[in-house]
Structure 1
Amino acid sequence: MNGLDIDKLPSRTRVVVAMSGGVDSSVTAALLKEQGFDVVGVTLQLYDQGAVAARKGACCAGQDIYDAAQVAERIGIPHYVLDYESRFKADVIDAFADAYVRGETPIPCVACNRTVKFRDLLSTARDLDADALATGHYVRRTAGPHGAELRRAVDPAKDQSYFLYGTTRAQLDMLRFPLGAMSKARTRALAERFGLPVADKPDSQDICFVPDGDYAGVVARLRPGAIEPGDIVDTAGRVVGRHHGIVHFTVGQRRGLRLDARQGTDNAPLYVVRLDAARRRVVVGPHAALARESIRIGTVNWLGDRPLDQDGLAVLVRLRSSQPLRPATVARVGAEVLVRFETPEFGVAPGQACVIYDRDVGERVLGGGTILSADAGEA
């Protein structure tokens, strides 16, 4: 058994490494090469640089492809660039724009990992007769009594398990994450030891195709009719202002509402409580109106040892990537999962992810899904 938990000698074990051109995936490739594995580097061309203006530091842009090729040459491995542009546009960019039009707040990195990177790239790795696909993600894959398990990274500051909850059991069988037990400082030190040209390269931003964080600008280019003005209303339906498109807002947002003083109220701060895409309305209310005792999630990926049923399971959940784990119970309700929080959650945005971890330690990813729309009294 070699260091990747594969019953073959390293020299007879072919590993495809997804190389984004950043320091993490570059160190992954260099480590595996040093350990004697048959390493093949693959970089994905994901979008047209002219159609989507990528900011400096974005992953899979032209400079990053060049950087990946330089690293591959430095460590002496073959390197291929695959054109996945049409797949990325359909599964990630178009889905991102459509979600914003529906009044949701999507996470394109989750969609990218679930489709283009792990579904499509895994298929390519098999075509290359690879035994494993390795990435530079900070997450751990461990062997469990019922098969491979997905766990949080050792370094909590770099843990990326929130973005990988959609990884299926079949994908986990072939995936490997060599950096999951390392700190970022250790990764940087290894990059310097290997003499990699990207050793000092800054980390890439999460959303590679959104220039300067201008989500609305990307949506406007892709869905020109989606940026339409409308009313800002309170929870009673009274008009309190105007907006220039619901794509500029997300649930829990306070800034940018530009509301004047309101008669008959104490003028307490207002937050976005709900987005009504059909009527182009931004619904606002006091902070208390953001509270949710339960939510429903769809498109659920379940990695637990036993099927999730209607009886409920005590777990820990995370609704945002940087949020501490929260106690909750989850239960299957048809094709959806009902999540009940021990204490109310505030600012739960449809389209975001609810990731489920084990209650005992909070390290193992049991699954997750996309948060569905729900009013305060629902669920």
Structure 2
Amino acid sequence: MSDSILNNESNKRALIAMSGGVDSSVAASIIHDRGYECMGCTMRLYENDVIGEDLFGTCCSLKDTQDARAVCEKIGIPYNIYHYEAEFREKVIEPFICSYENGETPNPCIRCNRYLKFDSLYNKAKELGFEYIVTGHYARIEERDGKYYLLKAKDPNKDQSYVLYDLTQEQLAHTFFPLGEYTKNEVREIAEEKQFVTSHKSESQDICFVPDGDYAAMIRRYRDKEYEKGDFVDTEGNVLGTHEGIINYTIGQRRGLGIPADRRLYVKQLDVKNNRVILADNKDLFEKELIIRDFHWITGDVPVEPMRCSAKIRYRHKEQPATLEVLSDGKAKITFDEPQRAITAGQSAVLYDGDIVLGGGIITNE
């Protein structure tokens, strides 16, 4: 966030989303030190019965809310907990499960940002008279000629712009990402200087409601059902073995297949209609083209002609040069210069021009 935006005097009130971790703690401190009237809050998103596991170590645990409250007391700002369990269940958990059931691999953090942090919490901020919301994401926002741009973080190892690609102009105008100019080590140093209880806290889970990392077990508990077994087949349709249910597999997966083979085989396709998992050699996983749905362009100036850009097809993917062509019905086509491995439906393809995040959408098999 540029200093010109941070020093806006029109309404210096900011609502801080606090997970109980070091990042949001330092974000709150930075904004408070800038002279903003701040209030910290934790979004309560789910209870134990939703995921069937102890919440210890997740952003909704008692320990994390205690830590967030302690940091707010240290800074000298008020703190509240707001309950969004129903919204989270409807807009994040249910689509997450449906996505796996439909042979996709979702990114729930993107939906949480879109529907919870920058919708429900943003509306709460407006209701309470706060002009801005603040999060501990590593990304930057800049205003240029009346438009707001989302940029990568200065620290490439912590950049989280990928999960923020569908922010709107209004949301960007009322959001601060104070950590975008810092490295993780610098953030921890600030937390130590401030003597925050979160200064040496470990990183949070990638998927907060799957604390043990076993998403398939979480889905079975949530649905209270077992998923029908089916056939592993090769690209010619030959049966190779029996799979344990479509939800257990993702494109590009090799481990955990549990079938004998004379070579390494990988998941190439999930055939939900016929309940088959199609396996292939690694070389067969590479493709140059993909289609995205729910296409979003941050500035609103959607390109009418094909344009050059770079694109990432998953969070840890290194962006690659490509050409974007906007289609009808909220879709777009991305053609890479070189084939990319394991393009996966349900993941987001995010578009960049250097440090600028242009937009993106959800990869589809349609």
State the TM-score, normalizing by the size of structure 1: 0.92
Match of 1:256 in 2: 256
Match of 1:332 in 2: 326
Deviation (angstroms), 1:5: 3.5
1:13 aligns with 2:12: yes
Change (3 A) 1:144 1:228: same
Change (3 A) 1:106 1:54: farther
Match of 2:355 in 1: 363
Give the 3-state SS of the residue equivalent to 1:63 in structure 2: helix
Match of 2:157 in 1: 157
Give the 3-state SS of the residue equivalent to 1:213 in structure 2: coil
Give the 3-state SS of the residue equivalent to 1:207 in structure 2: coil
1:122-169 Cα distance to aligned partner (Å, 9 max, x none): 000011111211111000001122411000000000000111112112
Change (3 A) 1:337 1:284: same
1:96-118 Cα distance to aligned partner (Å, 9 max, x none): 11101001100000000010111
Deviation (angstroms), 1:305: 6.0
List runs of 5+ in structure 2 lacking aligned partners: none
Match of 1:67 in 2: 67
1:133 aligns with 2:133: yes
Between stretches 163-172 and 133-142, larger displacement belongs to 163-172
1:80 aligns with 2:80: yes
Whether the aligned pair in 1 keeps the contact of 2:56 and 2:62 (CA below 8 Å) is: no
Q: Distance in 2 between matches of 1:74 and 1:302?
A: 40
1:250-285 Cα distance to aligned partner (Å, 9 max, x none): 001111112224xxxxx3321100001122110111
State the TM-score, normalizing by the size of structure 2: 0.95
Match of 1:351 in 2: 346
1:283 aligns with 2:284: no
Paired residues for 1:1-379 under 5 Å: 4-8=5-9, 13-52=12-51, 53-54=53-54, 56-225=56-225, 227-261=227-261, 267-304=262-299, 306-309=301-304, 311-334=305-328, 335-358=330-353, 362-373=354-365
Q: Distance in 1 between matches of 2:97 and 2:313?
A: 21
1:296-317 Cα distance to aligned partner (Å, 9 max, x none): 00111111463122x3110000
How large is the Cα RMSD of the aligned pairs?
1.6
State how many pairs are aligned.
Answer: 363
Whether the aligned pair in 1 keeps the contact of 2:5 and 2:143 (CA below 8 Å) is: no
Between stretches 190-199 and 224-233, larger displacement belongs to 224-233
Whether the aligned pair in 1 keeps the contact of 2:246 and 2:272 (CA below 8 Å) is: yes
Percent identity among equivalent residues? 39
Deviation (angstroms), 1:239: 0.7
Instruction: Read off the aligned partner of 1:48 and give its amino acid letter.
Output: E
1:319-375 Cα distance to aligned partner (Å, 9 max, x none): 1212221000111111200000100111111101100001xxx2100001111016x
